[in-house]
Homo-oligomer: A and B are copies of this chain.
Amino acid sequence: MFEHTHQLRVRYAETDQMAYVYYGNYAQYYEVGRVEAMRSLGLSYAKMEAEWGVMMPVMKMEIEFLRPAFYDELLTMVTTIPQIPGREIVFESSIYNEKNKLVNKGKITLCFVNINTKKRVDVPEQLLEKMKAYYV
């Protein structure tokens, strides 16, 4: 199964007055995890929009929060794509703190949309090709 690891440091702006990372900010972290996972496959999400005319809106997000993350922590995000994508693509992300404790984990489902028609399309061939190697 495809798996990618990326590190990210908590910004001051991302904390709230509980001194926790605000729960809504993890969606951004997951986005970074997804994009870097794709980049590691040789795929640029920016090019996907600009050159292939395909964008990937989120359809579903589920996050379970186990413990807070704090300012300036260097978080480790593990992103996997548990099954080969079709009409949808699912990313699962787990975020660990510096003590290697699980901060939270999320499952994000996205679809593929033609940027011009705004209609749903299948997973782009180029993305599918890159993924196939991981799901023999």
Q: Please state if B12 and A35 are interface contacts (CB–CB under 8 Å).
A: yes
A27 and B28 contact, Cβ closer than 8 Å, known pairs A17-B16, A57-B65 = no
Cβ–Cβ contact B24 & A17, under 8 A: no
Residues 5-35 of A at the B interface (beta carbon under 8 Å): 11-13, 15-20, 22-28, 31-32, 35
A62 CB–B CB distance under 8 Å: yes
Sample 21 A-B pairs with CB under 8 A, ordered by A number.
A11-B28, A11-B31, A12-B17, A12-B45, A13-B22, A13-B27, A13-B31, A15-B16, A16-B16, A17-B17, A17-B18, A20-B57, A22-B27, A24-B25, A27-B27, A35-B72, A57-B65, A57-B68, A60-B65, A61-B61, A61-B65
